[in-house]
Amino acid sequence: MDREDFMREAIRLSIDNVEKARGGPFGAVVVKDGKIIARGANSVTATNDPTAHAEVVAIREACKVLNSFQLEGCEIYTSCEPCPMCLGAIYWARPDKLFYANSKEDASAVDFDDKFIYEELAKPIEKRGLFTQRMLHDEAIEAFHKWNESPMKTEY
């Protein structure tokens, strides 16, 4: 299989997901050493889980397969340019490469518009639409101090 085959599988998953009414029109695959090791399709509405985007589902499965919290040596193929949440998850998973088919503008044209999230993230906290307030910093910082000093931590 080559890159186009991997992308076609992500696209197939997105189309199949719509045809079977299991969720939004998004699919993703994770590839390692030239083989698909995980697949994901959007299941937000089927599972009542707003984080169940295709990329996140595929990342979770790939990490189980690899018994690792990182996807080094892997490539991710998505049927659409990742939303901010998925892009963040992809960066945290640390694959080597990311490929996508539809653009965020294509997604926006069918009412999957993430522009407002990008705009919100660029604003100072006090100007965002979601009320956000910092609390109990003096107590919470203890966890970071303990982490920083712990010889048992697994860095990532």
Residues designated as active site: 55
Instruction: Please state, in angstroms and rounded to a whole number, the distance separating the CA atoms of residues 46 and 117.
Output: 23
103 Cα distance to chain centroid: 15
Distances from the Cα of 93 to the Cαs of 7, 31, 41, 67, 96, in angstroms? 19, 13, 18, 13, 10
Terminal C-alpha separation, the chain = 31
Q: What residues contact 3, with CB distance under 8 A and at least 6 apart?
A: 75, 77, 99
